[in-house]
Chains A and B, each alone.
Chain A
Amino acid sequence: MSIIFIRTFIFYVITVLSLRIMGKRQIGELEPTELAVTILISELATLPMQNIDIPIIYAVIPIFALVAFEMLSSVFALKSSVFRTFLSGRYNLIIEDGKINQKEMSKTQLTMDELMEELRKGGALSPEEVRFCVLETSGNISVLLKKTTNVKTFPLPLIVDGKPVKTNMKKLGFSKIDMINELQKRGISSFSQVFWMSVCEEDISVIKKDEN
């Protein structure tokens, strides 16, 4: 049984890793860990059903172990942005203000035909009509048209769950002092009190963490 438990953990890690390597577009609606668990559980449940020589406990233990791994990984993902990125990846900005980011397209293995198909689904006939086209971590593609939004630059988070996002700070030219000044204007003294802070063109939006 303990062998099955250890093997379950190994296969859980292998399945999540292989789904991450395959990329977002193969995933669809689910997060990689959710998909891994779904695939593994369905397989585990069918084995003792078909083969009566396999004790039921050989399936019950790995199924509950997978559920526990999934719950733990979602808790860790909520706590750590590094772990969250490792598990789910990041969104990819495919089109910004009508311009296609070819590097991002090749990185995500998205062909022009597939992109055009998604744009048509989003109500655009050409990339010039699109303000933002984003490949989300779930594998879905979001299309925002120029006619529906006046925002020209993609909104980026500066603080997520009390932690500053350094890459975005660098991209937007924000120093820690600038951010502290902005927070102090809103009566907030430290980053840990901030749940979300983002910049969209000139607008800075801040959401304070709940007290409890």
Chain B
Amino acid sequence: MRIKFISSVIILVIISAVMISGLFFIKSESETLVRFIEKGEYGEFCKEYDKSRIWLSFLINGEKIALVDKQVEKLKNSNADSDEITDLKAEISGWLLSELPSVENIF
């Protein structure tokens, strides 16, 4: 019984650690990406996004990633207009908010 209790607590601790580190990763990554957009460093933005995309795809819904992918592709080809860049910034800023355990998100 003690083993069962300890293992269930260990599972919950691991889950909590994964969730918290995931949230911190999304927070720091979105902040970095938004900073690059604000500075107008789109090349650096694309490089950073490509680097972290695989990890983000583990943590964020595929539809949201696909949306950003499309915009990043346009940025790479220099086809993005200012409205699209604003949308991209809003989308990335919204990642953390959509993952935070708020009452609105849960229910």
A-side interface residues toward B, CB under 8 Å?
1-3, 5-7, 10, 51-58, 61, 64-65, 67-69, 71-72, 74-75, 78
Contacts and interface: CB of A to CB of B under 8 A. Distances in A.
A61 B15 CA distance: 6
A51 B100 CA distance: 23
A68 B8 contact: yes
B70 to A, nearest CB: 14
Interface string B1-43: 1001101110110110011101100000000000000000000
Interface in B75-101: 99-101
B57 A55 contact: yes
Given A6-B106, A53-B66, A1 B7 contact: no
Chain B at the A interface: SS class: helix
B24 to A, nearest CB: 12
Interface string B29-72: 00000000000000000000000000001111111001000000
A-B residue pairs, 7 tightest by C-beta: A53-B62, A71-B8, A68-B11, A2-B101, A68-B8, A75-B5, A1-B19
Contacts of B23: 1-2
A61 B19 contact: yes
A55 B18 contact: no
Nearest to B105: A3
A54 B60 CA distance: 8
B62 A64 contact: no
B101 A55 contact: no
Interface residues of B, number: 28
A71 B12 CA distance: 11
B18 A61 contact: yes
Contacts of B99: 1-3
Contacts of B19: 1-2, 5, 61
A75 B62 contact: no
B78 to A, nearest CB: 28
Contacts of B8: 67-69, 71-72, 75
B15 A5 contact: yes
Nearest to A66: B11
Given A1-B23, A1-B59, A75 B4 contact: yes
Contacts of B7: 71
21 contacts: A1-B19, A1-B99, A3-B99, A3-B100, A5-B19, A6-B101, A6-B106, A7-B106, A53-B61, A53-B63, A57-B22, A57-B58, A57-B59, A61-B19, A64-B11, A65-B11, A67-B11, A71-B7, A72-B8, A74-B4, A78-B1
B66 to A, nearest CB: 7
A65 B58 contact: no
Nearest to A57: B58
A57 B15 contact: no
Contacts of A57: 18, 22, 58-59
